């Protein structure tokens, strides 16, 4: 069984002083899983694993560390280096890159990204940051002429930020709006002009052409790609499209207060090649933080996974979250899609441990063969993608999901509506089973399975 295999592995590695080709393979497989679960795109994961392997092989294991612990250290460091900025010596620079204002004022900052990514919110957050931390005089303007509500939204949040807002109307061309705002900013000695742009629901050629023209007209010193951390696997395609359309200078990763593991950071950094400058951590105007690659590396790996990698690898299952889930069920809280996702991940970790897993209504119950594992991984990614395409409310109350939303969710996750239906059916089956197990039983079951 998987647990036995891993337990043997850790025991063998304990007696070894070096990270070797054989012992590194198994550990890297775990790292790979952790990254895929964190929604890092597959090609990025492959590259990353290859780099870690290079660095790890032959490395002496110092002091009381096991090779497993040493490897986690290397993984963590490499993750931070991949998402952060390096100095001339290849060392991770402490702190994040702030907004570049090295230009003749007014410095223009152009916001780009999909609809709902958080552009308008981030525009106001940045205005506040530039006013308070950099003592700048800031003007905002909206080029989102397709939705009058979007212009109003920017007006409201700009006020909250304490910045000034330049009016625009839906009958104007975005370039004309931006140029008028720039002229106003020059004549009234603003230091910064933030240009918010229209939302794109998906990569849309006409809108891409529009933002390219806008860029050519206002010549921004910063072109920021705003991306939703919950976008998961899709972030890679979005990042590619925006990088091809625009000379990006930085990234803002929003909604990191959500429950995503933020693997998008790794994919987006790899694709765009520009620094992740800020992280959005709340809907509120002060919910903006400098992006911290070191800290984010821990999040992507997941606390649970670090523990799992270093010590609890033999258990194959995260007892803490099993216990938390049991408590939740006992207290009568509803079983949500997020819990379902967690359960799937747990089950995948348990692998083919038990016949019980086979009885569960999911193809995630992986059998021993490598082909099966690959398939299980793919299923897992697809299901994670579907769940991440839902709103937080839908995840909590899947019963509210109607046909039109199913279509949208399927589109967002790049799957068929049938796939969404299948997942919802499986969720329902598991919810019924959970009710029967009454919490305490579940914890005991997992504990038993975990050894
Ligand atoms: P836009 O279409 O790109 O302009 O996106 P908006 O700025 O209108 O944001 C879309 C939704 O995401 C809004 O409900 C925001 O309140 C929310 N949002 C934006 N940034 C964050 C964030 O960092 N955390 C959370 N929780 N919500 C955010
Ligand atoms: Mg907007």
> pLDDT category, 302, cuts 50, 70, 90?
low
Q: If you average pLDDT over every residue of the chain, what do you get?
A: 79
Tell me how far the alpha carbon of residue 192 lies from the centroid of ligand 2, in angstroms: 19
What pLDDT score was predicted for residue 392? 82
- Give the closest ligand to the alpha carbon of residue 148: 2
Mutational pocket test of ligand 1: of 110, 115, 117, 118, the residue with most ligand atoms within 8 Å of the beta carbon: 118
Quick one: which of 207, 192, 141 has its CA closest to 169?
A: 141
Q: Is residue 101 part of a domain?
A: no
Query: 421: Cβ below 6 Å to ligand 1?
Result: no
Q: Which residue has the tokens 């570049």?
A: 100
Residue 353, phi then psi, degrees to nearest 5: -60, -35
| Residue bearing the CA closest to ligand 1, atom 9 | 118
Helix (H, G, I), strand (E, B) or coil at 225: strand
As a whole number of angstroms, the distance between CA 215 and CA 209 comes to 10
Q: Is residue 248 part of a domain?
A: yes
> pLDDT category, 253, cuts 50, 70, 90?
very high
Maximum CA extent, the chain: 74
> pLDDT category, 351, cuts 50, 70, 90?
very low
Quick one: which of 71, 59, 58, 63 has its CA closest to 27?
A: 71
- For residue 122, the Cα-to-chain-centroid distance in whole angstroms is 17
Q: Residues for the chain: how many in total?
A: 451
- For residue 101, the Cα-to-chain-centroid distance in whole angstroms is 28
Protein residues placing their CB within 5 Å of the ion ligand 2? 119-120, 150
My answer on whether 278 and 137 are in the same domain is yes
For residue 322, pLDDT beyond 80: no
* Residue with the larger pLDDT of the pair 369 and 226: 226
> pLDDT category, 440, cuts 50, 70, 90?
very low
Is-contact 123 146, C-beta < 8 A? no
* Residue with the larger pLDDT of the pair 21 and 98: 98
My answer on whether 140 and 252 are in the same domain is yes
What pLDDT score was predicted for residue 240? 92
For residue 310, pLDDT beyond 90: no
Tell me how far the alpha carbon of residue 383 lies from the centroid of ligand 2, in angstroms: 28
Task: Give residues with Cβ within 8 angstroms of 320, minimum separation 6.
Answer: 304
Q: CA Rg, the chain, in Å? A: 24
Q: Which residue has the tokens 């997020």?
A: 338
Model-wide pTM > 0.80 = no
* Residue with the larger pLDDT of the pair 390 and 343: 390
My answer on whether 118 and 210 are in the same domain is yes
Q: Is residue 194 part of a domain?
A: yes
Six token digits for residue 51? 């780099």
Region of residue 212 (left: phi > 0; alpha: psi -120 to 50; beta: else) = alpha
My answer on whether 412 and 424 are in the same domain is yes
DSSP 8-state secondary structure symbol assigned to residue 259? S
My answer on whether 329 and 408 are in the same domain is yes
CATH code of residue 185:
3.40.50.300
* Residue with the larger pLDDT of the pair 348 and 199: 199
As a whole number of angstroms, the distance between CA 3 and CA 41 comes to 27
Tell me how far the alpha carbon of residue 227 lies from the centroid of ligand 2, in angstroms: 12
- For the stretch 50-82, pLDDT in tens is 988 888 776 665 554 556 666 777 888 888 899
Quick one: which of 29, 49, 73 has its CA closest to 310?
A: 73
Q: Is residue 98 part of a domain?
A: no
- For the stretch 360-416, pLDDT in tens is 333 333 333 445 556 666 777 788 889 888 888 888 888 889 888 999 899 888 899
My answer on whether 301 and 273 are in the same domain is no
My answer on whether 44 and 143 are in the same domain is no
For residue 7, pLDDT beyond 50: no
Tell me how far the alpha carbon of residue 115 lies from the centroid of ligand 2, in angstroms: 7
Strand order in the sheet with 192-196: 164-166, 138-142, 192-196, 107-112, 222-228, 250-254, 276-280, 288-290
For residue 320, pLDDT beyond 90: no
* Residue with the larger pLDDT of the pair 436 and 256: 256
Quick one: which of 225, 272, 218, 233 has its CA closest to 106?
A: 218
Across 4-28, average pLDDT:
58
Across 44-48, average pLDDT:
90
CATH code of residue 44:
1.20.120.140
My answer on whether 263 and 366 are in the same domain is no
Range ranked top by mean pLDDT from 49-53, 232-236, 319-323, 392-396: 49-53
- Give the closest ligand to the alpha carbon of residue 118: 1
Query: 198: how many CB neighbours lie within 10 A of its CB?
Result: 20
- For the stretch 129-177, pLDDT in tens is 999 999 999 999 999 998 889 999 999 999 999 999 999 999 999 999 9
> pLDDT category, 261, cuts 50, 70, 90?
confident
Instruction: Name which of 100-114, 267-281, 321-335, 403-417 the model is least confident about.
Output: 321-335
- For residue 107, the Cα-to-chain-centroid distance in whole angstroms is 30
My answer on whether 307 and 323 are in the same domain is no
| Residue bearing the CA closest to ligand 1, atom 28 | 283
Six token digits for residue 287? 């919910």
Q: Which residue has the tokens 């212009």?
A: 151
Six token digits for residue 317? 């299952």
- For the stretch 186-220, pLDDT in tens is 999 999 999 999 977 777 888 899 999 999 999 99
* Residue with the larger pLDDT of the pair 40 and 312: 40
My answer on whether 134 and 220 are in the same domain is yes
Q: Is residue 195 part of a domain?
A: yes
Query: 439: Cβ below 6 Å to ligand 1?
Result: no
Query: 283: Cβ below 6 Å to ligand 1?
Result: yes
Domain that holds residue 388: 316-451
What pLDDT score was predicted for residue 220? 98
For residue 307, pLDDT beyond 60: no
What pLDDT score was predicted for residue 395? 86
> pLDDT category, 1, cuts 50, 70, 90?
very low
Pairing of strands 288-290, 276-280: antiparallel
200 has binding-site annotation: yes
Pairing of strands 250-254, 276-280: parallel
Work out the angle at residue 443's Cα, subtended by the Cα atoms of residues 313 and 335, and round it to the nearest 5 degrees: 110
Tell me how far the alpha carbon of residue 451 lies from the centroid of ligand 2, in angstroms: 51
| Residue bearing the CA closest to ligand 1, atom 22 | 255
Tell me how far the alpha carbon of residue 138 lies from the centroid of ligand 1, in angstroms: 21
- Structurally, how many domains does the chain consist of? 3
Quick one: which of 151, 451, 116, 152 has its CA closest to 317?
A: 451
DSSP 8-state secondary structure symbol assigned to residue 26? H
Report the Cα–Cα distance between both ends of the chain, in Å, rounded: 12
Atom of ligand 1 nearest to the CA of 282: 24
54 has binding-site annotation: no
């Amino acid at each position: 069984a998987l647990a036995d295999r891993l337990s043997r592995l850790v025991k063998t590695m304990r007696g070894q002083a070096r990270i070797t080709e054989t012992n590194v393979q198994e550990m890297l497989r775990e790292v790979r899983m952790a990254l895929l679960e964190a929604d890092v795109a597959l090609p990025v994961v492959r590259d990353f694993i290859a780099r870690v392997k290079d660095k790890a092989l032959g490395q002496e294991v110092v002091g009381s560390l096991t090779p497993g612990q040493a490897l986690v250290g290397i993984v963590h460091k490499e993750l931070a280096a991949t998402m952060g900025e390096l100095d001339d010596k290849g060392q991770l620079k402490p702190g994040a890159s702030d907004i570049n204002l090295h230009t003749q004022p007014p410095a223009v900052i152009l916001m780009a990204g999909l609809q709902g990514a958080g552009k308008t919110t981030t525009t106001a957050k940045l205005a506040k940051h530039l006013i308070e931390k950099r003592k700048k005089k800031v003007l905002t303007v909206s080029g989102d002429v397709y939705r009058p509500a979007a212009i109003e939204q920017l007006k409201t949040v700009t006020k909250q930020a304490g910045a000034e807002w330049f009016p625009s109307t839906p009958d104007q061309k975005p370039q004309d709006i931006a140029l008028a705002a720039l002229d106003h900013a020059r004549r009234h000695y603003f230091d910064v002009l933030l240009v918010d742009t229209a939302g794109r629901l998906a990569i849309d050629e006409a809108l891409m052409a529009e933002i390219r023209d806008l860029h050519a007209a206002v010549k921004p010193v910063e072109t920021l790609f705003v991306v939703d951390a919950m976008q998961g696997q899709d972030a890679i395609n979005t990042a590619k499209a925006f990088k091809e359309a625009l000379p990006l200078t930085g990234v803002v990763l929003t909604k990191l207060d959500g429950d995503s593991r933020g693997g998008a950071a790794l994919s987006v950094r790899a694709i765009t090649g520009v620094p992740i400058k800020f992280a959005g951590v709340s809907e509120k105007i002060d919910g903006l933080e400098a992006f911290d690659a070191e800290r984010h590396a821990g999040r992507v790996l997941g606390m649970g996974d670090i523990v799992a990698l270093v010590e609890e690898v033999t258990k194959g299952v995260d007892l803490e979250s099993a216990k938390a889930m049991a408590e939740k069920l006992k207290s009568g809280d509803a079983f949500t899609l997020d819990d379902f996702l967690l359960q799937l991940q747990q089950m995948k970790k348990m692998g083919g441990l038990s016949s019980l897993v086979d009885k569960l209504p999911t193809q995630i119950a992986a059998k021993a063969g490598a082909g099966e594992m690959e398939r299980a991984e793919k299923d897992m990614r697809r299901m994670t993608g579907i769940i991440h395409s839902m709103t937080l409310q839908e995840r909590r109350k899947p019963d509210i999901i109607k046909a039109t939303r199913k279509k949208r969710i399927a589109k967002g996750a790049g799957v068929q509506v049938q796939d969404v239906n299948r997942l919802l059916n499986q969720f329902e089956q598991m919810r019924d089973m959970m009710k029967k197990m009454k919490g305490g039983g579940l914890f005991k079951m997992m504990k038993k399975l975990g050894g």
